[in-house]
A = this chain, B = another copy of it.
């Protein structure tokens, strides 16, 4: 009878939160951006996707299970990723007849997040990074993370940055084929391991506008967008790379806040306008400004993606100033870790800021800079090819 062995590989991949934002495509099919971006990879102890890629002659079709639910693999972007990975495996197989013919087998892909999707965190980046990394491991591709970033980018732009840990740049590139639009490591997590992030999850309704359609509306209609991509972002990229190299938090923080402001400004300048930040987000901005004012120096930086959640970056040495300011307002919420309670801060928020944050934030996530994708022997597919759940 035929070989029905089930080949498996498992990996985890991290979430990344940009400090210089990706917003706008110059090529929607290849996911080529209008500008470079830079992000901090967050710790997988707090936020990660675990994906097992498996294949077998016994499988009848490609299947993806996401958090236990069947998920569509038919999308052009996902198909582009699978095609590229299979092509690379097929090339290896054609050079070495002894290799099992995995490229021709159907795939069973099972993926789970360790964080609520409802939190509105960019899970697609971690998801596509884990998908590409797991299949690349299954196929034993010699590809480097930067080479794989070219594939992951086609699935979800920001996913290319989740193939690295630490501080990661997505170089926009200039080629029409996108072969130079890739992620590179600016610095490993070990270069600046003290970076922390407190995420304030705003209890917001579902996102009004998807980022995919939103960013193209901005490209098409914002009168201010050209200055962002031609002038503002290139300056921010340079300043941010310098700040990370020098471990200069004040510089890191100012660029982070300015770039988030610039990104949301171009969203508000879109026609019709796109609003991702709400009054809760704006209260978080004022809170961070109050924390820095009370500290007499810049110890915290806010940034907002395509949603109302605030991500507040700070350094471990200043945790009392940041956690000590927010904990008293939000002590009832899930997500605090040991050590957050009892920290002292001298900041006094305006009553409007305090009440908006207390009533509007639904959970917190305490995390920090972390590593890139990790191979693991925790499998979401059994040896006989059945999906299994770690959370079950």
Residues in B neighbouring A285, C-beta threshold 8 A: 272-273, 275
Check A223–B258 contact: CB distance below 8 A: yes
Residues in B neighbouring A265, C-beta threshold 8 A: 222, 224, 265-266, 268-269
Cβ of A282 within 8 Å of any chain B Cβ, yes or no, is yes
Q: How far is the CA of A222 from the CA of B273 in the complex (A)?
A: 19
Instruction: With both chains docked as a complex, state the minimum distance between the C-beta of A251 and any C-beta of chain B, in angstroms.
Output: 13
Residues in B neighbouring A270, C-beta threshold 8 A: 261
- Which one of A88-96, A125-133, A136-144, A225-233 is at the B interface? A225-233
Residues in B neighbouring A273, C-beta threshold 8 A: 261, 285
Cβ of A115 within 8 Å of any chain B Cβ, yes or no, is no
Residues in B neighbouring A228, C-beta threshold 8 A: 223-224
Residues in B neighbouring A271, C-beta threshold 8 A: 254, 257-258, 261
Check B272–A262 contact: CB distance below 8 A: no
Q: How far is the CA of A271 from the CA of B289 in the complex (A)?
A: 11
Using C-beta atoms within 8 Å of the partner chain, give the interface range for chain A. 20 to 34
Instruction: With both chains docked as a complex, state the minimum distance between the C-beta of A223 and any C-beta of chain B, in angstroms.
Output: 4
Which A residues from 202 to 235 make CB contacts under 8 A with B?
205, 222-224, 226-228, 231-232, 235
> Assuming A232-B224, A279-B278, A282-B275, is B269 touching A261 (CB within 8 A)?
yes
Cβ of A352 within 8 Å of any chain B Cβ, yes or no, is yes
Q: A residues near B, CB below 8 A?
A: 205, 222-224, 226-228, 231-232, 235, 254, 257-258, 261-262, 264-266, 268-273, 275, 278-279, 282, 285, 289, 352
